[in-house]
Chain A
Amino acid sequence: MTRFADMPLKWKLLVVITGTSVLALALACAGFIAYELAAYRGRAGRDMDLRAAMLAAGGAPALAFRDEKDAEETLAVLKVDPHVIAAQFYASDGAIFASYARADARDEPPPRPESDGQRFSWDRQTTVRGVALAGRRIGTLRLVRDLGEMRRSLAAVLAISLALLLVSSLAALAIAARTQRGISEPILDLTRAAKANAERGDYSARARARGGAELGILVAAFNEMLDQIQRRDAALHDSQQRLALLVESTPLGVIVWGTDQRVLEWNMSAERIFGWSAEEAKGRTADLIISAPVWESRVKTVWENLLARRGGTRFTNENVAKDGRTIVCDWYNAPLIGPEGKVFAVASIVEDITDRKRVQDELQSLTAQLERRVTERTAELLTLNKELEAFSYSVSHDLRAPLRAINGFSSLLLVKKAEHLDAEGKDYLARVAEAARHMAEIIDDLLNLARVTRSTMQPASVDLSALARDAADDLQALHPERLVDVFIDEGVRVTGDANLLRLLLENLLSNAWKFTSLTTAPRIEVRSRVESGRRILSVRDNGAGFDPAFADKLFKPFSRLHSEAEFAGTGVGLATVSRIIERHGGRIWAEGAVGKGAVFHFILPES
């Protein structure tokens, strides 16, 4: 017999619905029959009690006076009773005193009366009752009733119940057969769709949605799930194709190794790199492309680390191509790990870097050569530079003596022999003196510049504010007629050579002083600010400014942006400034516009 669990849903539903209703009805019928039986017994019991009471009363005198005939006559009334089939009076000594039996009674009275009460058997009801006279028991009455009537009535009830049961079972079956479709068909439909998916991978199969109840929702959810699976399937397919395309078209070799070192996958680039086709390579072990000494010395360890998931993911290695060439390859390896955390394969991406390595090596040797050459040239240049400096210093120095002579004697001439000179002569002489003075200035500046380059640095903490103030005071003393507003931030300390920094500020401030000489309300500021962690110092004026297009020429010696007639100068001051900043390892730059003033920013490295 089929187990209930293995039955098709349709049969299950039929069995459940029909079984339940039949069981319910059967229980109801059984209950009804039991009730009927009990009720009948109750009625029959009361009925027989009454009869027994009447007969006992009627038979009492006969028992009292031992009149069997009379007792039998008393019992003979029962002939008109259709139910009672036998009756006996027992005397007080327990012997049968009188009896009555219908012809068809088949009753065998016991020799002694049973105890009082009602007894039911399948076809008999026996009633036993004492016969009393004046409160004293003088005998016993036994009545036997045939229960045929009850049996017939029960049989009728039973027949009706069975008929009802049959009819209602058929009705339940018919209703179940109709209603089960509403439940089983959507599920069968779902089952068909699920089977189509599971067995044929046909994700386009759909269950038909019905209504909005649970089954409808289930079917809709199932279809929605199928939609998602179908979409993911397509996306997976897509991504697999793209990956395959990528693997085939990449210039990198892609190789998948089994854990036994045998080649499982071998793409076109691997074919190109090693010369072995995929057909030749597949199934072969790693010694196809790795020489035994290389394997022993390097790759073996890498392989073991990979399998143990301890690394070995990237390394450069010498391999052997099919034609016997030794090639240098970069390897990127990754263990492929299965769902149980076990390594089931190793994937490698390989790049032939033989050419690149050769180019790299060549490049390296070229660079080294170049560097060597640069060093040599630099040394030569330094020597030359030193010689040049020494030369210019000595020239400047040596020029001073004749200049002093020119200056001195032209002064003497002017003072002592003035009367021998006419106005024109005096003018010429004054021009000689002026030229000599200017030349001396240039020589001083050149000497300063040279000193800046030659002097040894003595770095210390320097109060830049004090230096700036000193320089400003000197300028004011030199030009007492000028009225210039000077603002200097207090307490600005930097690290550097005090003498050079003094020279720096003297140059910057005298520059500003000079270019504000035509300004109506001249103003000079020395400021310090911190910007992105660095201290930026600046000297700003509102003087003549400069054309920013020529900003890069500002710091070159002897290059002047203004005519000598406008602003006197040697063109060496800002070059000196630039050289000082350079020697401190700092940086200087200028901002400005014609007529809008100029700002010189500079940075000195900390300590």
Chain B
Amino acid sequence: MPLSTPLLLTAVLALHAASAAPTPAGEVKAVFLFNFTKFVEWPSASFPAPSSPIIIGVLGADPFGGALEQTVAGETVNGRPLTIKRFKSLEELAPCHILFISASQEERVPEILRRLGRSETLTVADIDGFAMRGGAIQFRADSGRIRFEISREAAERAGLRVSARLLSLASVVRKRIP
């Protein structure tokens, strides 16, 4: 997807403004977000071309600072580069492969999930009960460590295949989404 230079510039500037104090937890989460791309399989239809980037979107206030950009810089997964996109609100939302929903959007989660519908997007958030409410992956703290829960149904509904090896590391949520 072509990006106009002023827009990219704006995004970078915004990123700088927000990344004033990236927390260690933020860094870990950024790495985890990147690592998810290696254990999740997207339908090939979700990429316009074989070398199209995997797009990681951040919706709402960015908790990572610049950590996300640092993590993915120069990396490729299965031959695809990675691109970070930030959306201030649901209205700006464009298609992406992983969408991190910031805690600032907690009230709008149901609306966001509804809006995404069956689009092939892996939703990630560190909002309590996110997986129970239809999100795919939810970060949580477990005695000082970052762990995550995965709702296999949510992922499968979005048309994604999650590796068993990822599932073995997560607490799997078996709540049927209404």
Contact = CB atoms under 8 A, between A and B. Distances in A.
Interface of A: 60-62, 64-67, 70, 133-136
A64 B35 contact: yes
A61 B169 contact: yes
A65 B168 contact: no
Contacts of B28: 66
Contacts of A64: 35, 38
B77 A134 contact: yes
16 contacts: A60-B165, A61-B39, A61-B166, A61-B169, A62-B169, A65-B32, A65-B148, A65-B166, A66-B146, A67-B169, A70-B168, A70-B169, A133-B35, A134-B38, A135-B76, A136-B75
B78 interface: yes
Question: Closest 5 interchain pairs by CB?
Answer: A64-B35, A134-B38, A61-B165, A67-B169, A65-B169
Q: Is the interface of A mostly helix, strand, loop or mixed?
A: mixed
Interface residues of B, number: 18
Contacts, number: 29
Contacts of A62: 169
Interface of B: 28, 32, 35, 38-39, 75-78, 145-148, 163, 165-166, 168-169
A87 to B, nearest CB: 19
A135 B74 CA distance: 13
Nearest to A61: B165
A134 to B, nearest CB: 4
A53 to B, nearest CB: 15
Contact of B168 (A61, A66, A135, A136): A61
A413 to B, nearest CB: 197
Nearest to A73: B168
Given A61-B163, A61-B168, A70-B169, 10 more contacts: A60-B165, A61-B39, A61-B169, A64-B38, A66-B28, A66-B145, A67-B169, A134-B38, A134-B77, A135-B76
B51 to A, nearest CB: 15
Nearest to B148: A65
Contact of A134 (B78, B165, B168): B78
Nearest to A71: B169
Contacts of B78: 134
A67 B147 CA distance: 8
Contact of B38 (A66, A70, A133): A133
A475 B32 CA distance: 179
A66 B145 CA distance: 9
A20 B108 CA distance: 94
A64 to B, nearest CB: 4
A498 B23 CA distance: 176
A52 B154 CA distance: 35
Contacts of A136: 75
A61 B163 CA distance: 10
Contacts of A65: 32, 35, 148, 166, 169
A294 to B, nearest CB: 134
A481 B5 CA distance: 186
Contacts of B76: 135
Nearest to B79: A135
A370 to B, nearest CB: 156
B150 to A, nearest CB: 11
A135 B77 CA distance: 8
Contacts of B75: 136
A275 to B, nearest CB: 139
A60 B78 CA distance: 16
Contacts of B165: 60-61
Question: Which of the listed residues A60, A62, A65 has the most CB atoms from chain B within 10 Å of its own CB?
Answer: A65
Contacts of A60: 165
A136 B168 CA distance: 21
Question: Which of the listed residues B28, B38, B146, B148 has the most CB atoms from chain A within 10 Å of its own CB?
Answer: B38
Contacts of A66: 28, 145-146
Question: Which of the listed residues B39, B77, B163, B169 has the most CB atoms from chain A within 10 Å of its own CB?
Answer: B169
B53 to A, nearest CB: 15
Question: Which of the listed residues B75, B146, B168 has the most CB atoms from chain A within 10 Å of its own CB?
Answer: B168
A533 to B, nearest CB: 136
Contacts of B39: 61
Nearest to B164: A61
A139 to B, nearest CB: 12
Contacts of B38: 64, 133-134
Nearest to B38: A134
B17 to A, nearest CB: 29
A70 B170 CA distance: 10
Contacts of A70: 168-169
A461 B75 CA distance: 152
Contacts of A67: 147, 169
A461 B111 CA distance: 183
Nearest to B39: A61
A534 to B, nearest CB: 141
Nearest to A135: B76
A60 B165 CA distance: 9
Contacts of A134: 38, 77-78
A60 B148 CA distance: 17
Nearest to A63: B35
Contacts of A135: 76
A65 B39 CA distance: 11
A67 B146 CA distance: 9
Contacts of B77: 134
Nearest to B37: A134
B36 to A, nearest CB: 9
Contacts of B168: 61, 70
A341 B43 CA distance: 120
A263 B168 CA distance: 130
A62 B145 CA distance: 13
A182 B77 CA distance: 84
A70 B32 CA distance: 16
A135 B38 CA distance: 10
A61 B146 CA distance: 14
Contacts of B35: 64-65, 133
